[in-house]
């Protein structure tokens, strides 16, 4: 039927694939029985059985009405994706134990139900305790001059970090640390009120500069050993945290795009992995002739995508912008550089991929890659972790390589891509800056990052592989040799995306420009130039707000327009 079947055509699937129709009915019955077992174990219907029941009903109904299958493919794919997510979560779900009962097999076990009054008493005690207990604090809380660290992460990650702090950092340095895990939105009000931490970690890429322009962070270049610490990371890792000659954060993690491929499908079609975009142009007609697709992320559903929205489109455009030799900003963010010929040419090429070849704007990468509809796709390398767990049936039939690039006059291929990073930063109000710096150095060291990565995999499985920004630590994690080499081949081409005051307008309006060209068929050049004016207005407004030199000031200094 292809990925987009004709809703008005009768494909006669019951005659073409009678065994598949029969298998659908069998699998529907199996899922129904599994849902029943779960309900018997838990004693209730809940969200954990909903997807099983829904998938079972759809499979049985499609088996009964095979003439409707092609019209229900989208919902079927969505349910498969939800089932895969459910399976992954079931493998790593925590278990709560109230008490143990040791008994012989013939002894009658009391019903595991506290009853109304038992539940009421338990909840009442929990409510009273909430006024006195700090549920965000982990482990022992030290009094006195302890370093206060806040991390925006899950409880499992925070508990592991606290364990490592106590048995390694504090044990070796004698510096006590109080660790809390928080929600992202809590940090800014706390810092403004003077009740914030000394160090905050696992923050989004744009956070350090947002705090730095408000004079709320310590410039890490003030520490004499910063040049040595800087060597731990790829130069692109620190780029988002640089501002006005200072560096205001260290990268915890760094991720970037690679090209995922299904080797079995490419071999069957007789095509290779594209080295350049010109190679891709030759491959696309073959893929489309076989009802297959190539994926370039815009607003896709990725299992490993903490950013999404306009940020995803910006990362996608950055591939072409950097490979075409363009930049995002002039002179450290004083104005947008998207009006350059390189930026316009990259934008035109990017949008023409979708206009001329009909690439999908939205798709579920993991599911389409898994079932073979999308045998080639650009995606964040963290999806490797998801595929290892989520798609065991295609193990050994896929891999990843550097993204296609642009061949330079000297014969080399420019495979530049942008990067995302999560940051650790030091609040300016920190009481003991030297101790806070020691913690930051320890946390981003190769030894700590390696141990954290390995123990997270032990705790949650391969899907939790830590995308550390420390390049030495990456080499110590359990990557297969072939995949590690592919990762390093791409990493050498990674470029940091700079963060500037007002820079949030750039991804927002790059996305708007893309949509205008794709959906309203506007001219790429004129559309992008119109939005550059809007971006520059916001950049100027923010620079005025924070007392920074503007483009108008710079032009006056140079005597432009006189």
Cα–Cα distance between 513 and 420 in angstroms, integer? 22
- Classify strands 294-295 and 199-203 as parallel, antiparallel or unpaired: unpaired
**Closest listed residue to residue 370, CA positions, set 273, 303, 463, 280:** 303
**Cβ pair 322, 417 in contact under 8 A:** yes
**Cβ pair 181, 190 in contact under 8 A:** no
Strand partners, 376: 261, 294
Provide the residue count of the chain.
Answer: 562
- Hey, what long-range contacts does 24-32 have (CB within 8 A, 24 or more apart)? 24/59, 24/60, 24/62, 24/63, 25/59, 25/60, 25/63, 25/64, 27/59, 28/55, 28/56, 28/57, 28/58, 28/59, 28/60, 28/63, 29/56, 29/60, 30/56, 31/55, 31/56, 31/59, 32/56, 32/60
Q: What's the pLDDT tens digit per position in 205-227? A: 999 999 999 999 999 999 999 99
Strand partners, 420: 255
Q: What's the pLDDT tens digit per position in 35-48? A: 998 888 777 777 77
Is 103 within a domain?
no
What does the pLDDT read at residue 386?
87
Q: Looking at the predicted structure, is the pLDDT value of residue 6 above 80?
A: no
End residue of a domain, out of 33, 59, 90: 90
Mean pLDDT score, 470-492: 96
pLDDT band of 244, cuts 50, 70, 90: very high
Is 427 within a domain?
yes
Do both 454 and 471 map to the same domain?
A: yes
Least confident of 305-319, 321-335, 399-413, 444-458: 305-319
pLDDT band of 189, cuts 50, 70, 90: very high
Q: Looking at the predicted structure, is the pLDDT value of residue 12 above 70?
A: yes
Q: Name the packing angle between helices 341-357 and 277-289 (round to 10°).
A: 10
Do both 283 and 264 map to the same domain?
A: yes
Average pLDDT, the chain: 89
Is 132 within a domain?
no
Residue 530, Cβ density class (10 Å: 0-12 exposed, 13-18 middle, ≥19 buried): middle
Strand partners, 178: 148
Cα–Cα distance between 48 and 86 in angstroms, integer? 8
Strand partners, 203: 423
Do both 220 and 327 map to the same domain?
A: no
Least confident of 153-167, 292-306, 325-339: 292-306
CATH assignment of the domain containing 214: 3.40.190.10
What does the pLDDT read at residue 137?
55
Residues 6+ apart with CB under 8 A from 278: 407
Mean pLDDT score, 305-322: 78
Q: Looking at the predicted structure, is the pLDDT value of residue 145 above 60?
A: yes
Instruction: Say what the alpha-carbon torsion angle 372, 375, 378, 384 is, to the nearest 10 degrees.
Output: 60
- Hey, what long-range contacts does 353-356 have (CB within 8 A, 24 or more apart)? 353/296, 354/296, 354/298, 354/518, 355/517, 355/518, 355/521
Domain count, the chain: 3
Where residue 331 falls (left for φ over 0; alpha for ψ -120 to 50; beta otherwise) is left
Instruction: Give how far Cα 449 sits from Cα of 196, 285, 455, Å.
Output: 25, 44, 10
What does the pLDDT read at residue 303?
40
End residue of a domain, out of 75, 90, 105: 90
- Tell me which DSSP letter residue 124 carries: H
Cα–Cα distance between 512 and 477 in angstroms, integer? 39
The percentage of the chain sitting over the pLDDT mark of 90, rounded to a whole number, equals 67
Do both 406 and 514 map to the same domain?
A: yes
Cα–Cα distance between 515 and 366 in angstroms, integer? 24
Do both 234 and 289 map to the same domain?
A: no
Cα–Cα distance between 50 and 83 in angstroms, integer? 10
Cα–Cα distance between 63 and 141 in angstroms, integer? 59
Mean pLDDT score, 77-96: 75
What does the pLDDT read at residue 129?
66
Q: Looking at the predicted structure, is the pLDDT value of residue 248 above 60?
A: yes
Do both 62 and 83 map to the same domain?
A: yes
Q: What's the pLDDT tens digit per position in 273-299? A: 999 999 999 999 999 999 899 999 986
Do both 457 and 533 map to the same domain?
A: no
Q: What's the pLDDT tens digit per position in 120-141? A: 777 777 777 666 555 455 555 6
Domain extent at residue 472: 137-253+420-480
Tell me what percent of the chain is helix, strand and coil, each rounded to the nearest 5.
55, 15, 35
What does the pLDDT read at residue 311?
83
Q: What's the pLDDT tens digit per position in 375-416? A: 999 999 999 998 988 788 899 999 999 999 999 999 999 999
End residue of a domain, out of 28, 58, 90: 90
- E strands of 280-365, at which residues? 294-295, 329-330, 335-336
- Tell me which DSSP letter residue 332 carries: G
Is 123 within a domain?
no
Q: Looking at the predicted structure, is the pLDDT value of residue 301 above 50?
A: no
Mean pLDDT score, 527-532: 98
Which pTM was predicted? Answer: 0.84
| H, E, C per residue of 189-248 | HHHHCCCCCCEEEEECCCHHHHHHCCCCECCHHHCCCHHHHHCCECHHHHHHHEECCEEC
Q: Looking at the predicted structure, is the pLDDT value of residue 484 above 80?
A: yes
Cα–Cα distance between 384 and 386 in angstroms, integer? 5
Do both 358 and 460 map to the same domain?
A: no
Is 214 within a domain?
yes
Is 490 within a domain?
no
Phi, psi of 326 (to 5 degrees): -90, 170
Strand partners, 243: 246
Q: Give the angle subtended at the CA of 15 by the CAs of 10 and 16, to the nearest 5°.
A: 85
Higher pLDDT, residue 552 or 167: 167
What does the pLDDT read at residue 106?
82
């Amino acid at each position: 039927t292809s990925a987009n079947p004709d809703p008005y055509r009768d494909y006669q699937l019951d005659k073409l694939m009678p065994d598949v129709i029969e298998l659908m009915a069998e699998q529907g019955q199996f899922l129904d029985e599994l849902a029943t077992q779960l309900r018997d174990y838990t004693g209730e219907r809940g969200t954990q059985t909903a997807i099983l029941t829904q998938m079972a009903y759809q499979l049985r109904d499609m088996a009964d009405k095979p003439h409707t299958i092609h019209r229900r493919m989208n919902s079927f794919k969505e349910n498969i994706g939800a089932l895969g997510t459910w399976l992954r979560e079931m493998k790593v779900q925590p278990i709560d134990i109230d008490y143990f009962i040791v008994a012989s097999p013939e002894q009658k076990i009391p019903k595991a139900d506290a009853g109304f009054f038992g539940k009421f008493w338990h909840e009442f005690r929990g409510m009273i305790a909430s006024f006195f207990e700090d549920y965000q604090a982990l482990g022992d809380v030290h009094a006195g001059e302890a370093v206060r660290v806040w991390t925006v992460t899950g409880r499992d990650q925070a508990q592991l970090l606290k364990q490592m702090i106590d048995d390694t950092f504090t044990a070796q340095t004698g510096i006590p640390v109080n660790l809390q895990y928080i929600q992202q939105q809590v940090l800014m009000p706390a810092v403004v009120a003077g009740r914030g931490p000394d160090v905050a970690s696992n923050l989004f890429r744009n956070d350090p500069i947002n705090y730095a322009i408000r004079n709320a962070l310590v410039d890490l270049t003030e520490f004499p050993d910063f040049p040595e610490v800087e060597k731990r990371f790829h130069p692109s890792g620190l780029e988002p945290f640089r501002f006005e000659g200072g560096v205001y954060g260290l990268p915890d993690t760094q991720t970037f795009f690679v090209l995922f491929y299904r080797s079995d499908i490419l071999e069957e079609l007789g095509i290779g992995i594209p080295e350049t975009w010109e190679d891709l142009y030759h491959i696309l007609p073959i893929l489309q002739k076989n009802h297959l697709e190539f994926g370039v992320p815009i607003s896709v559903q990725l299992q490993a995508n903490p950013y999404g929205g306009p940020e995803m489109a910006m990362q996608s455009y950055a591939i072409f912008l950097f490979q075409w030799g363009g930049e995002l900003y002039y002179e450290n963010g004083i104005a947008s550089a998207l009006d350059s010929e390189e930026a316009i040419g990259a934008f035109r090429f990017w949008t023409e991929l979708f206009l001329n070849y009909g690439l999908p704007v939205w798709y579920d990468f993991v599911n389409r890659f898994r079932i073979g509809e999308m045998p080639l796709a650009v995606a964040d390398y963290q999806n490797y972790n998801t595929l290892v767990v989520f798609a065991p049936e295609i193990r050994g039939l896929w891999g990843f390589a550097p993204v296609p690039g642009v061949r330079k006059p000297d014969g080399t291929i420019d495979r530049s891509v942008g990067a995302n990073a999560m940051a650790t930063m030091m609040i300016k109000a920190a009481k003991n800056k030297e101790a806070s710096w020691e913690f930051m150095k320890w946390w981003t060291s190769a030894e700590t990052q390696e141990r954290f990565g390995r123990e997270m995999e032990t705790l949650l499985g391969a899907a939790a592989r830590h995308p550390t920004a420390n390049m030495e630590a990456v080499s110590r994690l359990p990557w297969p040799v072939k995949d590690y080499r592919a990762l390093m081949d791409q990493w050498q081409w990674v470029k940091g995306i700079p963060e500037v005051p007002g820079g949030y307008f750039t991804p927002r309006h790059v996305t708007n420009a893309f949509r205008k060209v794709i959906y309203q068929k506007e001219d790429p050049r004129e559309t992008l130039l119109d939005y550059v004016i809007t971006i520059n207005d916001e950049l100027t407004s923010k620079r005025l707000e924070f007392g920074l030199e503007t483009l108008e000031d710079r032009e006056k200094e140079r005597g432009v327009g006189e």
